[in-house]
Amino acid sequence: MAPPLLHLRDIALTFGGTPLLTSAELQVGEGDRIGLVGRNGSGKSTLLKIAAGLVEADHGERFVQPGRTIRYLPQEPDLSAYATVLDYASGGLAPGDDPYRAQYLLDVLGLTGREEPGRLSGGEKRRAALARTLAPEPDILLLDEPTNHLDLPAIEWLESELASMRSAIVLISHDRRFLADLTRATVWIDRGVARRLDKGFAHFEAWRDEVFEQEERDQQKLAQKIKREEHWMTYGVTARRKRNMRRVRELADLRAQKKDHRGPQGTVKLTVGETEVSGKRVIEARGISKDYGNGPVVKDFSTRILRGDRVGLVGANGAGKTTLLKLLTGELQPDSGEVILGSSLTMVTMDQSRETLKDDETVAEVLTGSGGDTVMLPDGPRHVVSYMKDFLFAPEQARTPVAALSGGERGRLMLARALARSSNLLVLDEPTNDLDLETLDLLQEMLSDYPGTVLLVSHDRDFLDRVATSTVFAEGGGLWREYAGGYSDMVMQRGEGVAARKGAANAKPAAAKEKPAEERPKKKSRLSFTQQHQLKTLPKEIDKLGKEIGKLQGELGDQNLYARDPKRFDTLMAKLTELQTRLAEAEDTWLELEMLAEEEGAD
């Protein structure tokens, strides 16, 4: 067995008296694709920094195979020492690396290389750092949230680029689709310990739930054992003192074990304030257009949004998603056409930039609006600390200024404030930024149960698939088209996904070598993961249904059944009708998927 390229063993680190990592391990082999997952604050980024050699652990060992190269993508890159972005992106190249690759990557990511670092936005700095990290094609890539601030074309390009590279990759991301498509192993940081699953992220959540269920069973067994020992101490034989003292010590150990057990980290509790029901028609746009002088951003767009719809807006950065959102909500007036808003609308907006949060305000002030200690919710007042706990804020953070919060904490604070207000129309501009997977799950469930209407801008493909009932896509030139369903449904109807940034799809670095066929990214399937799974499993389900129907028909073939037991006859007939309907639906679905798969094979 080949030695690992990188091995972290028994890593421990404590911040401010609280253990962050207690016994973490990370092993990276040749060509590995590892997803590093865990709650916000679990220590994922810290472990990645230890792997990169940027942070020293309190305890443990770090081994890197001699001569191997590592490149690390930070969440907050520092470009201050460089005159231009190209200087920064090329600064990570070593002798023998392709000198043109940095410029190629900057072009793909929407930068020229001539920009001055001091004038870049946070998103532009992240894209420059991505170019710098990928340019050398190192042995190991350590990527901390590489899709942050990227639009869908750039995310899909990056996914293909990473899939084609020879580098081993350790990846932190909150983008489920990105993780599922790229990873072949998953390392879960939970309560300071790293657990490894030698399967990709697609299998992680089922495995995590099994771990929690087993842990709960173990704790129940421990509680029962403690109860038995306590009963023995009270009523058991006391003649042999030596035996008694041993049992006393064992009981003390069991109690300590139960006391020291750290259960799963707290979960966010998301509820949304509801107001009176809006009219059936929420928004109707009739031929609206908007042009800022450089060509149309929105051109002759019409739609009708009804109560309960969840509409996702999708497109590249700069396509005009936020402009369209403002036109639909009446914040911006169209140059032509009209927008009709329905009756009894109460709208709550969550802004993508978090600009409405003031750095000098405290968490409590943001939530109460007055600096008091009470949050006014639709169902009555509530103490601010109690409400904060629902969003995983510690009581002592009530007086923490916004400036001191992480990106994930700011996102949760924005959600907490928005969801406290009564509404029947939620307008969410990039709500998933910096949220961990568990919070995304709960936000998705909340939106699914929300009785009002949702307008949503997002680059998260999986989130759109789970939430959106229709997707409005920027086709280019100010043209927008609405498709039924989520992102994957939109791709299937269009026959393709979001186009890569102009010139990126066919561009190659001037001196770059062609990748061998086996290293090129595989062509993406038109079928979603769920559809592929259905295509494999439906034949078995159809066969099973056929057998069940055969059994029912055999029993119903008894001519005396109705006279002997009419109730049984009626039950069997109802069951037969249900199974026959299910069989017909399954056969129709399988036939449609089979035709799609054949069309895909013919491409």
The answer on 220 and 202 residing in a single domain is no
Identify the residue with better confidence: 441 or 171. Answer: 171
**How do 140-144 and 33-37 pair as beta strands?**
unpaired
Q: Is the pLDDT of residue 530 over 80?
A: no
Any idea what the CATH number is for the domain that residue 108 is in? 3.40.50.300
Residues 426/273, Cβ–Cβ less than 8 Å: no
Assess if residue 521 is contained within a domain. Answer: no
Would you state the pLDDT for residue 191? Answer: 79
Assess if residue 506 is contained within a domain. Answer: no
The answer on 285 and 169 residing in a single domain is no
The answer on 447 and 304 residing in a single domain is yes
The number of angstroms, rounded, from the C-alpha of 296 to the middle of its chain's C-alpha atoms is 33
Q: Of 272, 325, 277, which is closest to residue 297 (Cα–Cα)?
A: 325
Assess if residue 479 is contained within a domain. Answer: yes
Q: If you search the block for the tokens 């949230």, which residue do you land on?
A: 145
The answer on 247 and 135 residing in a single domain is no
Q: For 355, what's the count of Cα atoms within 13 Å in the CB-facing half-sphere?
A: 4
Q: Is the pLDDT of residue 410 over 80?
A: no
Q: Where are the alpha helices (DSSP H) in 33-168?
A: 44-52, 85-90, 101-108, 122-134, 152-164
The answer on 484 and 534 residing in a single domain is no
pLDDT tens per residue across span 177-187: 999 999 999 99
User: Both ends of the chain: CA-CA distance in Å?
Assistant: 41
Would you state the pLDDT for residue 143? Answer: 96
Q: What is the largest CA-CA distance in the chain?
A: 96
Assess if residue 135 is contained within a domain. Answer: yes
Q: Which domain holds residue 33?
A: 6-206
Assess if residue 516 is contained within a domain. Answer: no
Q: Of 542, 292, 268, 313, which is closest to residue 415 (Cα–Cα)?
A: 268
Q: Is the pLDDT of residue 442 over 80?
A: no
**Is the Cα dihedral 193, 196, 200, 203 positive or negative?**
negative
Would you state the pLDDT for residue 64? Answer: 94
Would you state the pLDDT for residue 32? Answer: 95
Cβ atoms within 10 Å of 225's Cβ, excluding its own: 15
Most confident of 243-252, 309-318, 428-437, 573-582: 309-318
Would you state the pLDDT for residue 273? Answer: 53
Q: Residues of the chain with pLDDT > 70: what percent?
A: 81
Q: Is the pLDDT of residue 27 over 90?
A: yes
Any idea what the CATH number is for the domain that residue 557 is in? 1.10.287
Assess if residue 329 is contained within a domain. Answer: yes
Q: Is the pLDDT of residue 535 over 90?
A: no
**Is the Cα dihedral 163, 165, 166, 171 positive or negative?**
negative
User: How far apart (Å, rounded) are the C-alpha atoms in residues 563 and 565?
Assistant: 6
Assess if residue 518 is contained within a domain. Answer: no
Q: Of 187, 191, 154, which is closest to residue 170 (Cα–Cα)?
A: 187
The answer on 225 and 198 residing in a single domain is no
Provide the residue type at 295 as one letter: G
Q: Is the pLDDT of residue 288 over 90?
A: yes
Q: Is the pLDDT of residue 266 over 60?
A: no
The answer on 55 and 151 residing in a single domain is yes
Assess if residue 505 is contained within a domain. Answer: no
Residues 468/456, Cβ–Cβ less than 8 Å: yes
* pTM exceeds cut of 0.85: no
Q: How confident is the model at residue 499 (pLDDT cuts 50, 70, 90)?
A: low
User: How far apart (Å, rounded) are the C-alpha atoms in residues 492 and 528?
Assistant: 8
**Is the Cα dihedral 532, 537, 543, 547 positive or negative?**
negative
The answer on 367 and 244 residing in a single domain is no
Identify the residue with better confidence: 7 or 118. Answer: 7
pLDDT tens per residue across span 570-588: 888 888 888 888 887 887 7
**Is the Cα dihedral 162, 167, 173, 178 positive or negative?**
positive
The answer on 442 and 303 residing in a single domain is yes
Kindly state the tokens that stand for 288.
């609206």
Provide the number of structural domains found in the chain: 4
Would you state the pLDDT for residue 602? Answer: 52
Q: How confident is the model at residue 253 (pLDDT cuts 50, 70, 90)?
A: low
